[in-house]
Amino acid sequence: MEKITQLEMVGISKSFHGIPANDDIHLTINSGEILGLLGENGAGKTTLMNILYGLYQPDSGQIKINGQRVKIRTPQESMAVGIGMVHQHFALIQPHSAVENIVLGYQHSPLFFPQKKIQDDVLAFSKKFNFDIDLSKQVWQLSAGEQQRVEILKALFNGADLLILDEPTSVLTPQETQELFVILNRMKQEGHLIILISHKLDEITELCDRVTVLQKGKIVGHADTKDVDKRALARMMIGRDVIFNIEREEIPRSEKVLSVNNLVVNGDKGIPMVKGITFDIHKNEIFGIAGVSGNGQRELVEAITGLRKSESGEVRITDTDITNQPPDKIYNEGISHVPEERIKFGIAPGLYLYENAILKQHRSDKFSSRLFLAYKGIKEHARGLVDAFQVATPSIFIQTKNLSGGNIQKLILGREIDGEPPVLVASHPTYGLDVGATEYLRKQLLQRRKEGGAILLVSEDLEEISELCDRIAVIFQGQFMGILEADDPNIKDIGLMMAGTLQL
C-alpha cells in the first residue's frame, strides 16, 4: 500500500436509532499536518474516528486516500491502508510485556514469524522515534504515559501513516503530555498525518495546525490555529463565552466532617501505597490532593470510599468510624464518590440511563416505596439530572454504555452531587468534560462548598486545584509532602513537592 499523503472524508453520515451522530461531514488532512477535532460532549467526534478506523460503518459517504476511494470495513482493513488509532481506554494485554504486545498485533506476521527478529525491529524503531520506554517491562508495570507510548509505537510499527488519538492527554501528567507532544511533532516532521481529539484548548492551539469544530454531529467551523485563541475556540464550540477563571468566595471553614488518621493502604501489588496519611476536611471546604498519578491517591480514595481495605489507621465521618466498611454503608453515611475508573466503578454500562441515575440509591425510600409510584419518581429524577447536567442523550431509555465519554461523566457527577452529600470525594471530576461542562461542574463544586459540603478533590490539573481548593495537600510516594493554605506563598513550589524534592 502506498503511503498516505492525503485523506478525505466526504459526506459522512451516521445515525443511531434515527438520531444523527455525524451529519454530512467533510474533512481533509494532508501529510505533515496535525488536525484538531473539537466539539462538545456528544458532538460526534469519537463516532467519526471510529468510522475511519473501521469500527462503525457510515450510513453514507466515502473515505478517500490519495484521491482514491477506499473501503474500510474493519480495524484490520483500516490498519492495512495505514491508519492507526489510540483509544482513550488502552487495550493492551496486561500480563504481557510491552514488546510482546506490539509483536502480537503485528499485521504482517508470517505464520512462523521470527519473534526475536521482530522484537529487534521494534526496539530499533523505538530508538528511532526516541520513545523512552523499557519494552521488556510487563504492561501492568508501566505508567499511563508509557502504556500510551506503547500504543503509539504499536500503531507506527504496524505501518500507520495516519494516527488518530482520542483524548490522549486526559490520563497523562503535564510532563507526560509534553513528552507526547515531542513525539507527535517528530511524527509530523516525518510526514505523518495526525488527528487529535481533545477538550484541552491550550493543547489544541499549541500542537495542531488546523482545527475542525463539530456541533451536534455537524461541522460548524474550521480554523487555522495560528488565527485563534482558546476563547475563540470555546465560542466556536459552544456558541458563547466561557469563564476560564472562576471566582472563589471567601468562606470560613466550619466543623470537621471527614477525618483520616494515620491511614495505611496497600496497592494491587500488596505493598503499601498510602503510608500513614492524616488530614481532616471541614464543612464549607474543598480539600485538594495534588500529585503525579501513581503516588497513592487512587488507593487513598478507594480506602475512604470502601472500595479497598486499609491495613491500619482510621476514617471517620463526624463521629462514626467507617474504616473498612462496605461501600453502600459508607455511601449511606454521607460520602458520595465520583471515581477515577468510571466504567468500572461509576456506572453499570449495560443498564439504562434512568437505572444508572439512581444506582446506589435504589433501596432508599424515595425510590422503592410503592412500585409504580417509584418508577415514575425514578424517571422524573433521571430526567431532572439529564436536564440539570445537560447530558446529551436521545432519551433516558438508552443503554448507558452508548452515551459519549463526557456524557457518562456528566451523569455520574449529577447523580453524586444531586443528593447534596455531606462529603463528596471526586477524582479527576472534569476529565473528559468539554469546556462548558467543566465550567458548570466547577460552579457546582463551589456551590456545594457554600451550602456546607466537604469536598475532597483529587486532580493532576494544578490550575483546577489552585482555583477551587481552600487547602492543598501534595502527595508523593504515599505521603503528604505538606498541606498548604490556598494563599500560602509556597504554592509556587508545588511542582517541587510533587516531585518529592521539597517537604514542608
Ligand X SMILES: Nc1ncnc2c1ncn2[C@@H]1O[C@H](COP(=O)(O)OP(=O)(O)OP(=O)(O)O)[C@@H](O)[C@H]1O
Could you tell which of ligand X, Mg ion, none binds residue 16, using a CB distance below 5 to 8 A set by kind? ligand X
Which CB, 160 or 197, lies closer to ligand X? 197
CB of 236 to ligand X, least distance (A): 15
Cα 62 to Cα 14, 25, 28, 52, 222: the distances in Å are 12, 10, 12, 10, 20
Q: Which is nearer to ligand X, 57 or 109 (CB)?
A: 57
Residue type (1 letter), 247:
E
- The DSSP annotation for 373-399 comes to HHHHHHHHHHHHHHHHTT---S-TTSB
Give the DSSP letter string of 44-73.
SHHHHHHHHTTSS--SEEEEEETTEEE---
Nearer to ligand X, 153 or 403 (CB): 403
Which CB atom, from 405 or from 429, has the smaller least distance to Mg ion?
405
405 binds ligand X (CB under 6 A): yes
Query: Strand, helix or coil at 324?
Result: coil
Q: Which is nearer to Mg ion, 403 or 425 (CB)?
A: 403
- Contact between residue 76 and residue 119 where contact means Cβ atoms under 8 Å apart: no
6 by Cβ neighbours in 10 Å (0-12 / 13-18 / 19+) ranks as middle
Contacts with Mg ion, residue ranges (CB under 5 A): 46, 404-405
Distance of closest approach, residue 118 Cβ to ligand X, in angstroms: 34
Exactly one of 8, 16, 325, 466 binds ligand X (CB under 6 A); that residue is 16
Closest distance to Mg ion from the beta carbon of 287 (Å): 31
Nearest residue (CB) to Mg ion, 46 versus 78: 46
Q: Which is nearer to ligand X, 44 or 414 (CB)?
A: 44
d(CA 130, CA 76): 27
Residue 132 in grid coordinates: 523512552
Binding-site residue total for ligand X (CB under 6 A)?
17
- Cross-sheet strand order for the sheet of 285-290: 335-338, 423-427, 454-459, 285-290, 471-476, 479-485
Using CB atoms, what's the residue nearest to Mg ion?
46
Q: Which stretch binds ligand X (CB under 6 A): 3-11, 132-140, 251-259, 400-408?
A: 400-408
- Please identify, using beta-carbon distances, which residue of 148 and 295 lies nearer to ligand X: 148
The listed partner (Mg ion, ligand X, none) that binds 483, CB under 5 to 8 Å by sort, is none
- C-alpha Rg value of the chain to the nearest Å: 24
Out of ligand X, Mg ion, none, what residue 41 binds, judged by CB under 5 to 8 A for its kind, is: ligand X
Distance in angstroms (rounded) separating the CA atoms of residues 261 and 499: 24
Name the binder of 139 from Mg ion, ligand X, none, CB < 5-8 A by kind.
Answer: none
Please tell me whether residue 403 binds ligand X under the rule CB under 6 A: yes
Q: What share of the chain is helix, strand, coil (3-state, %, to 5)?
A: 35, 25, 35
Nearer to ligand X, 431 or 480 (CB): 431
Q: Given the complex with Mg ion, which of 46 and 215 has the nearer CB atom?
A: 46
Q: Within positions 39 to 98, which residues make up the interface with ligand X, using CB under 6 A?
A: 39, 41-47
Taking CB within 5 to 8 Å according to partner kind, which of ligand X, Mg ion, none is near residue 386? Answer: none
Q: Which does 215 bind (CB under 5 to 8 A by kind): Mg ion, ligand X, none?
A: none
Q: Is the CB of residue 202 less than 8 Å from the CB of residue 174? A: no
Q: Which is nearer to ligand X, 343 or 392 (CB)?
A: 392
356 binds ligand X, rule: CB under 6 A: no
Which of ligand X, Mg ion, none is residue 402 near (CB under 5 to 8 Å by kind)? ligand X
φ/ψ of residue 254, rounded to 5 = -105, -140
The one among 82, 168, 334, 406 contacting ligand X by CB under 6 A:
406
Q: Does 392 bind ligand X (CB under 6 A)?
A: yes
Give the residue, chosen from 147, 404, 438, 444, that forms a contact with ligand X under the rule CB under 6 A.
404
* Measured CA distances, 371 to 362, 365, 367 (Å): 12, 11, 8
CA distance 182 to 207: 10
Q: State the binding partner of 21 from Mg ion, ligand X, none, CB within 5 to 8 A by kind.
A: ligand X
How many residues in total does the chain contain? 504
Give the residue nearest to ligand X (CB): 406
Q: Pick left, alpha or beta for residue 61 (phi over 0 → left; psi -120 to 50 → alpha; otherwise beta).
A: left
Give the Cα separation of 260 and 498 in Å (integer). Answer: 21
Contact between 198 and ligand X per CB under 6 A: no
- Judged by CB under 6 A, which stretch of 123-131, 280-288, 403-411, 486-494 contacts ligand X? 403-411
Q: Is 252 exposed, middle or buried (0-12, 13-18, 19+ CB in 10 A)?
A: exposed
> Is residue 402 a contact point for ligand X (CB under 6 A)?
yes
- Using CB under 6 A as the criterion, which residues of the chain lie in contact with ligand X when the complex forms? 16, 21, 39, 41-47, 392, 402-407
